[in-house]
A = this chain, B = another copy of it.
Amino acid sequence: MNILVNPAPSTWKKELARPVFKTKEINKIVKPILRKVKRNGDKALYKFAHEYDHVDLDSLLVSEEEILAASAALSPELRQAIETAKANIERFHQAQASPELVEEVMPGVLCKRRSVAVQRVGLYIPGGTAPLFSTVLMLGVPAKIAGCKEIVLCTPPNREGKVHPAILFTAQLIGIHKIVKVGGAQAVAAMTFGTASVPQVDKIFGPGNQFVTAAKQLATKYGVAIDMPAGPSEVLVYADESAVPSFVAADLLSQAEHGVDSQVVLVTHTEKFAKKVLKEINKQLEKLSRRDIAKKALNNSVAVVLQDEDEAIALINEYAPEHLIISVQKEEETVDAIVNAGSIFIGNYTPESAGDYASGTNHTLPTYGYARNYSGVSLDSFVKKITYQKISPEGLKNLGPTVEIMAENELLDAHKNAVTIRLNYLKENNL
């Protein structure tokens, strides 16, 4: 992790460039997977389980028994922690519900808007090095609150053909019963096209490696929606002398351990503070089990020293971090000045990991600069907002002439006529 002192704004983009994907090469691998699942359904899924997960499955679906056994396999402490996190996430996402909107914009012209659940959703939960049961909470809880009719969870089996009990426990706690042992691009394909075991869905959520990410992007060509475009996880910590260097180091490392392509950025006002943090990083790093991953991620990472506060804020808004930790004296005005970020963690006692797991906010957030134009996953991600209108005869008399004139000037006769024919009918029938 290098220290950059007062880099010119014109160099920020280059200096803070995120790792680049090799999309083309990955698509070359992923496209045939999609094609095979589309054509051969479950048969292809069993074959991919053999090939990629090194297991011959008897059934793709997790059984009742497996789900029931999961709870007993977890410590009471972990069960309690998951329940606490669920309660917080539920509370914060329930509060996001939009009440029905009703506006009589003119006498007799009633407009409404309602949230209606996306009917069929697919949640992808990665397996691999860590069982991400926290992501089951982050996607499953809002899906349930939204009232999605069909929720399917796909996650890769281990070599014994099992799914980690923490994932199963969390899913059943939320009320998700359809859990399929399928991972990678083939899981995305199955949810896109539907197979005998996996229902076709309207929207696919969830993180994953580059193959999953590529598959999700390709899937959108077949009418399915996805939560958001994804890149590797990242954090930017903005800290001044009021921050505790060891806390800052711990936060940077918690992001760095995610993956070798993660990026962490420190923005601070003095080189002295930056050096303190780097020293702490080196100290803490050696104790981490995932230190090799973290070390590689730190190679993509940088500490930026900017003496000027406005410049620091400008850099942050240009970078648009997924996670932004703000630990500075002028806390409130700094927070208010941020316009591009996924989620913001404020003060010395708010580690990113609080939001990653249990505070209630969602951890599925826009990476790769997409915080400029995307929100994180929320209750909104699981609903469509449908608008409604009902116009009375009186309302049409009030609004109709406006529509007629506008349609006429857009040279759309038939649009005008749909009003005129009704107004004439009202006149002819003395209504």
Interface residues of A (CB under 8 A from B): 77-78, 80-82, 84-85, 88, 91-92, 95-96, 98, 101, 103, 105-106, 109, 111, 113, 116-119, 129-134, 166, 202-203, 220, 223-225, 229, 244, 246-247, 250-251, 253-254, 256-258, 284, 287-290, 294, 317, 335, 338-362, 366, 368-376, 378, 380, 383-393, 395-396, 399-403, 405-407, 409-419, 421-422, 425
Query: How far apart are A73's CB and chain B's nearest CB, in angstroms?
Result: 11
Residue numbers in B under 8 Å from A371 (CB-CB): 384, 386
Bound CA span A362–B425, Å: 27
**Would you list 14 pairs from A and B whose C-beta atoms are within 8 A, ordered by A residue?**
A77-B405, A129-B411, A203-B373, A247-B422, A250-B414, A340-B384, A343-B389, A344-B387, A345-B389, A349-B396, A353-B415, A359-B391, A359-B399, A371-B384
**Interchain CB contact under 8 A, A402 and B358:** yes
Given contacts A360-B105, A399-B354, contact A349 B414 (CB under 8 A): no
Most buried by B among A289, A317, A335, A391: A391
Residue of B whose beta carbon sits closest to that of A102: B95
**Interchain CB contact under 8 A, A346 and B389:** yes
Residue numbers in B under 8 Å from A378 (CB-CB): 113, 385, 387
Residue numbers in B under 8 Å from A345 (CB-CB): 388-390
Q: How many chain copies does the complex carry? A: 2
**Interchain CB contact under 8 A, B91 and A95:** no
**Interchain CB contact under 8 A, A388 and B418:** no
Residue numbers in B under 8 Å from A391 (CB-CB): 347, 349-350, 354, 359
Given contacts A254-B418, A410-B131, contact A386 B351 (CB under 8 A): no
Within 8 Å by CB of A405, from B78, B250, B355, B399, lies B78
Residue numbers in B under 8 Å from A421 (CB-CB): 246-247, 250, 284
Residue numbers in B under 8 Å from A92 (CB-CB): 101, 103, 105, 111, 113
Given contacts A117-B339, A349-B395, A357-B402, contact A257 B414 (CB under 8 A): yes
A-B complex: 10 closest residue pairs judged by Cβ atoms: A225-B373, A351-B418, A353-B415, A250-B418, A346-B390, A81-B405, A361-B387, A257-B414, A105-B360, A254-B414
**Interchain CB contact under 8 A, A294 and B339:** no
Instruction: Please classify the interface of chain A as helix (H, G, I), strand (E, B), loop, or mixed, using the class held by over half of its residues.
Output: mixed
Bound CA span A84–B405, Å: 11
**Interchain CB contact under 8 A, A387 and B396:** no
Query: How far apart are A10's CB and chain B's nearest CB, in angstroms?
Result: 14
Within 8 Å by CB of A350, from B389, B413, B415, lies B389
**Interchain CB contact under 8 A, B385 and A376:** yes
Bound CA span A202–B250, Å: 32
Query: How far apart are A191's CB and chain B's nearest CB, in angstroms?
Result: 12
**Interchain CB contact under 8 A, A257 and B288:** no
Query: How far apart are A253's CB and chain B's nearest CB, in angstroms?
Result: 4
Query: How far apart are A84's CB and chain B's nearest CB, in angstroms?
Result: 5
Residue numbers in B under 8 Å from A413 (CB-CB): 257, 287-290
Residue of B whose beta carbon sits closest to that of A384: B375
Given contacts A95-B103, A359-B109, A372-B118, contact A254 B402 (CB under 8 A): no
Within 8 Å by CB of A353, from B359, B380, B416, lies B416
Bound CA span A349–B397, Å: 10
Within 8 Å by CB of A417, from B80, B202, B250, lies B250
**Interchain CB contact under 8 A, A358 and B417:** no
Bound CA span A132–B331, Å: 46
Bound CA span A294–B412, Å: 11
Bound CA span A92–B104, Å: 9
Residue numbers in B under 8 Å from A98 (CB-CB): 98
